[in-house]
Amino acid sequence: MTTPPVTDSGLPVTAADVHAAAGRLAGVAHRTPVLRSRTLDALVGAPVLLKCENLQRIGAFKFRGAYNAIAQLSAEERRRGVVAHSSGNHAQAVALAARELGAHAVIVMPKDTPRLKLEATTGYGAEIVHYDRYTEDRDAISAALAEERGLIMIPPFDHRDVIAGQGTAALELIEDAGPLDVLLVPVGGGGLAAGCALVAAELSPGVRVIGIEPEEGDDTYRSLAAGERIAVPVPRTLADGQAVPQPGELTFAINRRLLDSIVLVSDAELVEAVRWAYERLKIVLEPSGATPLAALLTGKITIGDGPIGVILSGGNIGAEQFARLITEG
């Protein structure tokens, strides 16, 4: 990747990029609903606005970024195709976005990817290249494919167009619900948080954007404290969508400037939040998608009485695991 242009703000992506992404996504991504719960408002002591990206196409916000990236490729690049490695939501996001845009997609997935996720990805017409996650390096495999076949790599978060695309979730939330005092965003690689923080700073001046990480995947928390990108051991957490060992370069450059802080939640708190969303909101959240709700329900966020925006980022979780989480305890 060539070095991205740095804008006037000194950041590699701007709020204007998020607005441009929204134009590309109009009529393609769902404008997901903003749900309210009086019970939650009463518990928290302020109005809470829940942006339901679990109700997005492919069941997660990831479609926004993948589509915004692939939509900007030339006709020739699309003909050659794109490549991504993921066993999770990014795989389906790239596969679906590529199909919508007439591009060929190659997804590099571990051999032991759950059948449902595999089928969802092939269902969108993607070609799967398997690798052994214990003996092979997915980065090397993807890079070799890109090189040999001239495929364009679509990274899961550390990419300007991906960051701008993910930010459209907060753009829609603020357009629909008005300015926010606080915005809570899950942090994995940091692309969603970065994009959302950029546009929130523009549309809701003075907003505190707080990133939420699982305790066992606190790489951005540590990196912000250290003032540089810190790598942690591969996280073991229920929040598999946030099991990222190190923040991205671009995402960290943005998040260190724009995030107010990071709040950590435990796996037990995530289970509670998933169950609460099931019982009270009647929606399905995957643990990663429930991190901000967990932070709210446990009282870890210091708030005033102004509106709190929450990005519920995804709902892709196998039925067996979901059944276990809602009936535990």
Active-site residues: which are they? 62, 87, 213, 217, 219, 313
The DSSP call for residue 3 is P
What is the token pair recorded at 132? 């052994």
Tokens 């591009």 belong to residue: 103
Alpha-carbon distance 16 to 31, whole Å?
19
| Residue 327 contacts a second copy per CB under 8 A | yes
Shortest gap between Cβ of 52 and a second copy (angstroms)?
Answer: 8
Q: In Å, what is the CA distance from 204 to each residue of 174, 201, 212? A: 8, 6, 20
The SS3 assignment for 227 reads coil
By beta-carbon proximity to a second copy, the closer residue of 100 and 215 is 100
Among 73, 279, 293, 311, binds a second copy (CB under 8 A): 279
186 near 313, Cβ under 8 Å?
Answer: yes
User: Which of positions 51-70 make contact with a second copy (CB under 8 A)?
Assistant: 54-55, 57, 59
What pairs with residue 129 in β-bridges? 108
* Minimum distance, C-beta of residue 4 to a second copy, in the bound complex (Å): 33
Q: For residue 32, give Cα distances in angstroms to 29, 201, 255.
A: 8, 21, 24
Which segment (12-20, 77-85, 106-114, 275-283) binds a second copy by CB under 8 A? 275-283
The nearest distance, CB 37 to a second copy, in angstroms, is 9
CB of 82 to a second copy, least distance (A): 20
User: Does 43 engage in binding with a second copy (CB under 8 A)?
Assistant: no
Rounded-to-integer distance, Cα 180 and Cα 193, Å: 15
State the binding string over 295-324 for a second copy (x if CB under 8 A, else -).
--------------------xx--xx-xxx
**326 touches a second copy (CB under 8 A):** yes
What is the Cα–Cα distance from 60 to 117, expressed in whole angstroms? 13
The residues binding a second copy (CB under 8 A) are 30, 33, 35-36, 38, 54-55, 57, 59, 275, 278-279, 281-285, 315-316, 319-320, 322-324, 326-327
